[in-house]
């Protein structure tokens, strides 16, 4: 009996898989802050709405706008503006409730998330909450408090006073 011969081809697809991962990440995250972007927010909002309909729980959405950011950006330049946006993103995350997790789009479970909508606008999505009134004041207050501590970015106090106002609704 003759030996059997098998032929095969082995190809390393590691680079391709890394590239696919990077593309998927860029599609759902803001390149400056690394937060989920508007597309990711919309996807998670849809999941939160669906979950609320099925579970009978509530969800909350907070919109955050940094007042007079354009003035700061024009005065100090885009480099400082970018640093301010990154720091704002970090402070918004840190100002949320302790159990919050920045969501990832691949998870089927809907988690709390902070997203950058673009420019100086951010959102906070809190799905699966039982008592919405508990968050109505605490999230805006925590967020405003976290964003007030920015005087080290500016050389002149009047520029800091212009920025420290933050709308959370």
Tokens of 25: 């990440």
Phi, psi angle pair for 89, to nearest 5°: -60, -45
Question: Which among 30, 100, 112, 120 is annotated as catalytic?
Answer: 120
Q: Are 150 and 144 in contact (CB under 8 A)?
A: no
Give the sign of the dihedral formed by CA 106, CA 117, CA 166, CA 164: positive
Catalytic residue flag (residue 12): no
Collapse the DSSP code of 5 into the 3-class scheme (helix H, G, I; strand E, B; otherwise coil) and give the result: coil
Q: How many helices (H) and strands (E) does the chain have?
A: 6, 4
Catalytic residues: 120
């Amino acid at each position: 009996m003759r030996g059997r011969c098998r032929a095969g081809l082995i190809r390393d697809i590691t680079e391709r898989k890394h590239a696919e991962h990077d593309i998927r990440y860029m599609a759902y995250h803001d390149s400056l802050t690394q937060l989920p972007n508007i597309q990711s927010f919309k996807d998670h909002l849809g999941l939160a709405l669906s979950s609320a309909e099925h579970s009978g729980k509530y969800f909350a959405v907070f919109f955050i706008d940094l007042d007079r950011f354009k003035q700061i950006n024009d005065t100090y330049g885009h480099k400082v503006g970018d640093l301010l946006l990154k720091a704002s993103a970090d402070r918004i995350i840190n100002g949320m409730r302790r159990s919050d997790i920045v969501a990832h789009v691949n998870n089927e479970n809907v988690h709390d998330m902070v997203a950058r909508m673009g420019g100086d606008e951010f959102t906070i999505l809190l799905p699966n909450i039982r008592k919405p009134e508990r968050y109505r004041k605490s999230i805006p207050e925590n967020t405003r408090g976290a964003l007030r501590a920015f005087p080290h970015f500016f050389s002149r106090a009047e520029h800091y006073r212009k920025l420290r106002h933050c709308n959370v609704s």
